[in-house]
Structure 1
Amino acid sequence: MATTDMDLLRFATAGSVDDGKSTLIGRLLLDSKAIFEDQLEAVEATSEAKGYDYTDLALLTDGLRSEREQGITIDVAYRYFATPNRKFIIADTPGHVQYTRNMVTGASTADLGLVLVDARQGLTEQSRRHAVILSLLRVPHLVLAVNKMDLVDFDQEVFDKIHRDFTQFATKLNVPDLEVIPISALQGDNVVTRSDNMPWYSGPTLMHHLEHVHVASDRDLIDARFPVQYVVRPKSDEFHDYRGYAGQVAGGVLKPGDEVVVLPSGMTSKISKIDLFDKEITEAFPPMSVTVHLEDDVDVSRGDMIARVNNAPTPSQDIDAMVCWMTTAPLQPRQKLAIKHTTRTGRALVKDIAYRLDVNTLHRDQDTKELAVNEIGRVTLRTTVPLLVDPYSKNRTTGSFILIDEATGVTVGAGMING
């Protein structure tokens, strides 16, 4: 199968310091043959120079010098690899509480969240926080990888206790699909190949689960949403009649002949054809990037949205959302910020901060007057332009937005719209 036709899985990894996250990613890259020989030789030489009696696979992933010096992951690093069954993009996210914003960034587009725990430590506060953040971000699939089983003599009772504790904790969260897998990233047990050291475990290996977890049905294929990113009008004589609207399908299935409405104007038309690169296609669905043509010459511009006539989002200027604050200056009521939702931009006023969510305990602090960096809270906004929103629980694209400091152009917050 050509790689362009292969299914893609985006997954985010999270774990506490020394849980072996970087080693696990190194093992996945190595065992899936995604490492060049010279890279592996360099890692083996460095491991030997340090006096290790094993190959330190974490050296394959901890690319930042400050990470290598501290032995921790502090930035979101994206890794790419493929197997004969699927392509993968890994968002290697940091575990420390002061890098919560980095984890939110890395996990926001993930189909699956992979949380590592050290079998010797069991569930920690950080493990619970990672699961809460993945749940808040509506990551539909969660894997708990119980690592370093070799250091507890592959004891089934140790695994069963962690499995039980985490399953009980997950009942408080929105976790539609959970898989718990015992592994040893250093030795490769149950990562790609099944381990002979754990005959009591009958579930899938980590790689088998990543290759076969079903993600196509996670996207909203009912509510048609097409934010217009660019109006295509070539200046050449050959294409003088060409007028199309380019963008990425955010929801539903679009087909030629569909009756659609352009929002916020409310003008209606029908789809005449859909282009994908240089060819016409019979349907478009998330997350395809296409050019849509309409039968009528209606006024459409960047920031508009094409939807079905009887199933369109309601324009709203009052936004109720969970916001992760990402900058050192705190978020406060009456603050004015730029807001970007899909391809539409405007300005927003912070009307109120209802509460700050403690991501360790799920406690709602209703006495808070501001959100500090890396904190998550419920915020109401008033926007200058109507936004065409859906609840984040329904559509992660049309249900999310970013907040921008107008003076610096820096992204200062990420929001998830409540239903």
Structure 2
Amino acid sequence: MRRRVVITGMGVVTPLGHSVGELFAAQIEGRTAVGPITRFDASALPTTFASEVKHYDLAKYLKDATRYAHSGLNTRFALGAAQQALADAELLDEGHGDRGRIGVYLGVGEGPENFPALINSIAAAVTGDGDRADPARFIAALRPALDARGESEVETHTTVGHLANQFALDGPNVSCLTACAAGSQAIGEAAELIRAGDADAMIAGGSQSMLHPLGVAGFTRLSALSQRSDSPQTASRPFDLTRDGFVIGEGAGVVVLEELTHAKARGATIYAELTGYGSTADAYRMTDPHPAGRGAIRCMANALADAGLRAIDIGYINAHGTSTAANDAMETAAIKSVFGNYAHKVPVSSSKSMLGHLIAAAGVVELAISVMAIRAGVLPPTINYETKDPVCDLDYIPNAAREARVDHVLSNSFGFGGQNVSLTVSRYRG
């Protein structure tokens, strides 16, 4: 019999709150975290707004936070989220659980800590002399950033090393960098380690901050970011006809995944069961999804099959829903392909309408929201939905939360490079 994997702890650091409770309350209220960038002077860039984590202090979570004073936000966000999740699962004390059977799997993307010496020079290059971003200067400045990529790849793995050291977790220790799908990928792969018997529990999730001149300018050059600077709070509008790009955000999310009998033996609180995992690649383009959703279709179908569920069993879809023209049209088409006639009956919403896009952290934060939706019996809305797009014609829970009892949720994460991950999370039944 396949080993069952349950969720026994959750922790987040997000622009909408530094705990799962704060985050979910904000989602249900339909509050947005989007506003002007304060991290650096973005006035010369076409996009001057983002979704920032405010008032975050790692010392509120760790007594020895000063040891991480020189670590980047990726690491500091992840430590705060992991401390919350382990405390929630009652696994923070080294005396609880065999630490050699508890590991770390984290999706971590590149951030400003990966190339600190380049940030100031890149900032000057992309902004010019107070003018709009200069493409020639940007491309010239980008070359050394690419040359420094080896350093950045080392840094992305040190985050999981810091988590293992801080919390004395001696089990498998792995990081992945699969763009916007990284957090969900880490959860799915961590679950596979537990299913295979290689671990009893894993802390899994994602962390990333790209709120620096290179990150914002880079996505601007890809025409991926919204430029609705006259009304940033309404800029993230997934599935709306007038959407013009995503809003970049930052943060971290961590869940504790645990083998069911292990969790029951120690009397753990079980929030939900992780029942399905699908992972595919579009094998199409690096910055555009396959227009017909080829990879996304297989990914969702694989997750359902892994869970032993039918499409009609899913009570809610937490969509990737980035607010870009290409993603939202593709995801809608893919849902129609997988769900058939039921596609127009299943509620769908995008947490990014309020959070912005947390990149590597997006999938795990959205999974935590999905777990809370199951437990609370309330589905979060897609805010800023005003004008129907004929291509996007599903039930996107527009603008107001909806009460509904659901037993199974599908959560999608589709990243640059054609990385696709779908997870199914279900109401726990003993």
TM-score normalised by structure 1 residue count: 0.26
Query: Higher relative contact order at CA 8 Å, sep ≥6: structure 1 or structure 2?
Result: 2
More strand per residue:
1
TM-score normalised by structure 2 residue count: 0.26
Which protein is bigger by CA-based radius of gyration? Answer: 1
